């Protein structure tokens, strides 16, 4: 995927860098990624789509709407491919998405919404959902195999509290795992059901951040696992990802965002020590209450 | 002269040299001395594209206005129109114009007349028409508006006013 710096993107659109930043604030588009130094990096596909739309547009809003439509075509192609059980076409749709976006955004904007749409359409206990979820899990695993080796001295332990591979939260967990691996951290996923031998694993892995992901495992099971982790590895940052509804007064950890990308950024902040002193907002209150499951799950 | 139908070339908006150029967001006249006019982006507010319209139709900076395409979808809303109608441009774009504005006197003239005016204007009909409108689902509020062509690309421009500059309404 080709990326552009702010000045390059501005030159493609023939506007000033300030204009580009003003559009990002007002319209949320084009939406840049950030480099390690927090500089903006725009995907060429997004900028090119906007350039074409601006030439035929009457307003910035309508041009951005048109550019977004042209990019969202990948989602409908993927939904169509999975709907007709064509794995090759599904892979090709993701390849097309990757030509315009980063891996992270392809996962968040194309893969997860497409698979979720199939779940909403057919039910999260249906065969089409199972087919799509298995393909998505396989795609995420393949992407992870292509990730560079760990570069950071950071280790993230994810406690898997999902039901199984077909739990809708399991895909989000895999996405979070992929994003963390791609950012150079070491990541280990362990089920919260197993505490036997956990001490040895933790001593070898030495995690800095612990994430409990998923809403299926009961509170007492998660609490036992978390207690064992903390008693072995010390006072670690304990965070919750898609764990469930907020309940005040129960101390368990910081609630991460629902989106894997945003949750990943929060984890990076924790690893960098920047969020350590941040005030806890109401929705950051800890919880161990399982989330209400989807109606058709 | 034969009775056969003939194709007649109509002037596009790029050919209309006498049009006034204004920003589709702030409504101010295009300033060629300010950065980036080549991109059609307003160099003053940076939030709108430069649009051309006949001088008798083009809005003053204090006039709220809307841009509507030939499918009657809202394509743009000036900052003042956002304030007047209580809707931000990003939420209004791609909505049907009748979701925002309808003719004020529904008995004297149906919504079809407004639709016809907008469609003709969006197709490049050079005439400017005056109409009286009201917000959809609201009564007791009236806006005088003038409707005519603008572009590029071709669209209808609906300039809302207080009636002082409006001639006899068409509707």
- Tell me, what CATH number does A54's domain have? 1.10.1660.10
Same domain, A167 and A255: yes
**B59-161, CATH topology level:** Beta-Lactamase (3.30.450)
* CB contact (8 A) between residue A18 and residue B155: no
pLDDT for residue B79: 92
Query: A223 and A265 in contact (C-beta within 8 Å)?
Result: no
Q: Which domain holds residue A25?
A: 3-142
Same domain, A208 and A226: yes
Q: Which residues of B touch A17 (CB under 8 A)?
A: none
Residue A189 forms part of a structural domain = yes
pLDDT at A277 over 70: no
Same domain, A133 and A183: no
pLDDT for residue B3: 67
- Tell me, what CATH number does A158's domain have? 3.40.50.2300
Same domain, A130 and A170: no
pLDDT for residue A251: 46
Q: How far is A5 from chain B (nearest CA, A)?
A: 19
Give the lowest-confidence range in A50-54, A98-102, A168-172, B72-76.
A98-102
Residue A295 forms part of a structural domain = no
Residue of A60, A65, A67, A68 to mutate, interface with B, max B Cβ within 10 Å: A60
Q: Which residues pair with B29 in a beta bridge?
A: B22
pLDDT for residue A295: 41
Query: B-contacting residues of A 34-73, CB under 8 Å?
Result: 54-63, 65
Residue B94's closest chain A neighbor by CA? A62
Same domain, A181 and A115: no
pLDDT for residue B9: 62
Domain final residue, candidates A107, A142, A177? A142
Mean local confidence (pLDDT), A72-100: 84
pLDDT for residue B109: 59
Q: What percent of chain A has pLDDT over 90?
A: 21
Residue of B47, B53, B69, B91 to mutate, interface with A, max A Cβ within 10 Å: B47
Q: Is some CB atom of chain B closer than 8 A to the CB atom of A25?
A: no
Q: Which residues of B touch A13 (CB under 8 A)?
A: 39
What is the residue extent of each domain of chain B?
59-161
Among the partner-chain residues B39, B67, B75, the one whose CB lies closest to the CB of A14 is B39
- Most confident among A79-88, A101-110, A174-183 (mean pLDDT): A174-183
Write out residues in chain B with pLDDT < 50, as ranges.
1, 15, 35-37, 168
Residue A94 forms part of a structural domain = yes
Residue A64's closest chain B neighbor by CA? B90
* Residue A279 pLDDT grade (very low, low, confident, very high; cuts 50, 70, 90): very low
> And the tokens for A288?
């161990």
pLDDT at A98 over 80: yes
- Each residue's pLDDT tens digit, A158-201: 999 999 889 989 999 999 999 999 988 889 999 998 878 888 88
pLDDT for residue A247: 53
Same domain, A195 and A257: yes
CA distance A242 to A272: 22
Q: What percent of chain A has pLDDT over 70?
A: 89
- Each residue's pLDDT tens digit, A3-13: 888 999 898 88
pLDDT for residue A292: 42
Same domain, A178 and A277: yes
Q: Which residues pair with B145 in a beta bridge?
A: B131, B160
CA distance A184 to B138: 57
* CB contact (8 A) between residue A19 and residue B76: no
Q: Which residues of A touch B48 (CB under 8 A)?
A: 59-60
Residue A80 forms part of a structural domain = yes
Cα separations (Å) of B44 from A121, B54, B139?
47, 22, 36
* Residue A280 pLDDT grade (very low, low, confident, very high; cuts 50, 70, 90): very low
pLDDT at A106 over 60: yes
* Residue A42 pLDDT grade (very low, low, confident, very high; cuts 50, 70, 90): confident
Cα separations (Å) of A250 from A158, A246, A288, B121?
20, 9, 7, 63
Mean local confidence (pLDDT), A96-122: 88
DSSP-assigned states of every residue in A98-143: HHHS-HHHHIIIIIHHHHHHHHHHH-TTSHHHHHHHHHHHHHHHHH
* CB contact (8 A) between residue B49 and residue A54: yes
Residue A293 forms part of a structural domain = no
Q: What pTM does this model have?
A: 0.59
Among the partner-chain residues B35, B36, B75, the one whose CB lies closest to the CB of A62 is B75
Domain final residue, candidates A87, A120, A142? A142
Same domain, A135 and A154: no
Domain count, chain A: 2
Residue A289 forms part of a structural domain = no
Q: Is some CB atom of chain A closer than 8 A to the CB atom of B164?
A: no
Q: How far is B113 from chain A (nearest CA, A)?
A: 24
Same domain, A173 and A230: yes
Same domain, A156 and A134: no
Burial of A83 (0-12, 13-18, 19+ CB in 10 A): middle
Residue A292 forms part of a structural domain = no
Domain final residue, candidates A86, A116, A142? A142
Q: Which residues of A touch B36 (CB under 8 A)?
A: 14-16, 19
- Each residue's pLDDT tens digit, A225-242: 888 888 887 777 788 998
Residue A198 forms part of a structural domain = yes
Residue pointed to by tokens 């725009």:
A42
Q: Is some CB atom of chain A closer than 8 A to the CB atom of B130?
A: no
Same domain, A229 and A161: yes
Among the partner-chain residues B36, B93, B151, the one whose CB lies closest to the CB of A59 is B93
Query: A255 and A239 in contact (C-beta within 8 Å)?
Result: yes
């Amino acid at each position: 995927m080709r990326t552009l710096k702010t000045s390059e993107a501005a030159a493609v659109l023939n506007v000033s860098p300030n204009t580009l930043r003003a559009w990002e604030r007002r319209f949320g588009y084009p939406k840049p990624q950030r480099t390690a130094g927090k500089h903006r990096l725009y995907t060429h596909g997004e900028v090119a789509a906007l350039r074409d739309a601006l030439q035929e547009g009457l307003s910035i809003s309508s041009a951005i709407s048109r550019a977004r439509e042209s990019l969202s075509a990948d989602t409908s192609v993927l939904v169509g491919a999975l709907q007709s059980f064509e794995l090759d076409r599904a892979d090709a749709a993701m390849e097309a998405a990757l030509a315009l976006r980063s891996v992270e955004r392809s996962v968040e904007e194309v893969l997860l919404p497409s698979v979720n749409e199939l779940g909403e359409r057919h039910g999260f206990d249906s065969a089409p959902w199972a087919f799509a979820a298995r393909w998505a899990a396989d795609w995420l695993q393949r992407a992870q195999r292509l990730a560079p080796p760990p570069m950071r001295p950071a280790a993230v332990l994810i406690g898997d509290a999902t039901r199984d591979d077909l739990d809708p939260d399991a895909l989000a967990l895999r996405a979070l795992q992929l994003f963390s691996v791609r950012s150079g951290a070491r990541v280990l996923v362990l089920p919260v059901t197993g505490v036997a031998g956990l001490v040895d694993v933790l001593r070898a892995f030495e995690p800095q951040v612990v994430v409990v992901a998923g809403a299926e495992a009961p509170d007492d099971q998660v609490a036992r696992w978390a207690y064992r982790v903390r008693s072995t590895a010390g006072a670690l940052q304990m965070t919750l990802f898609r764990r469930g509804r907020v309940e005040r007064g129960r101390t368990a950890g910081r609630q991460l965002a629902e989106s894997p990308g945003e949750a990943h950024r929060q984890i990076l902040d924790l690893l960098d020590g920047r969020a350590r002193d941040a005030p806890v907002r109401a929705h950051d209150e800890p919880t161990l209450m399982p989330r209400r499951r989807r109606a058709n799950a | 002269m034969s009775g056969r139908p003939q194709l007649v070339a109509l002037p596009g908006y790029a050919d209309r040299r006498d049009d006034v150029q204004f920003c589709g967001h702030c409504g101010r006249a295009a300033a060629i001395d300010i950065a980036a006019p080549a991109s059609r982006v307003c160099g003053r507010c940076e939030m709108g594209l430069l649009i051309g319209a006949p001088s008798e139709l083009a809005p003053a900076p204090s006039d709220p206005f809307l841009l509507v395409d030939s499918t009657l979808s809202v394509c743009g809303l000036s900052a003042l129109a956002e304030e007047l109608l209580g809707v931000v441009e990003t939420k209004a774009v791609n909505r049907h114009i009748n979701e925002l504005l309808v003719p004020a006197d529904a008995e004297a003239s149906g919504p079809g007349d407004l639709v016809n005016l907008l469609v003709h204007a969006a197709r490049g009909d050079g005439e400017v028409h005056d109409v009286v409108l009201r917000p959809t689902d609201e009564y007791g509020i009236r806006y005088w508006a003038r409707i005519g062509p603008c572009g590029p690309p071709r669209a209808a421009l609906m300039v809302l006013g207080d009636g002082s500059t409006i001639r006899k309404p068409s509707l």
